[in-house]
Amino acid sequence: MRPVTVYRVDFGWKTKDPIGVVLEKRKTERTNNNFDLLRLARRLFASDTGDAAGIIIDVKPVRERDHGAVACGEAASPG
């Protein structure tokens, strides 16, 4: 499971405030993973349909996350 941070964007003040987290439970990458997570976040955190436009998610690409884990593992191993 991978946590994905949910933000409420205030376009007037140009701020992005974290309001919660949704969990991605899918083990394989599909075409609509990010869109489905955004839809879930908007359903959970938006108070009405007008508020849903200000709800966004922060999705890190899987490659960056896996690459960082490998780099940390290599640095920690004795040479």
pLDDT tens column, 11-66? 899 999 999 999 888 888 778 888 999 999 999 999 988 889 999 998 775 544 44
39-54 residues labelled b (16+ CB within 10 A) or e (exposed): ebbbeebeeeeeeeeb
Domain that holds residue 13: 2-76
Structural domain count, the chain: 1
Q: What is the pLDDT of residue 11?
A: 87
pTM of this structure: 0.68
Answer yes or no: is pLDDT of 73 > 70.
no
Q: What is the pLDDT of residue 21?
A: 92
Q: Mention every residue, 6+ apart, whose C-beta is less than 8 A from residue 2.
A: 23, 24
Q: What is the pLDDT of residue 41?
A: 94
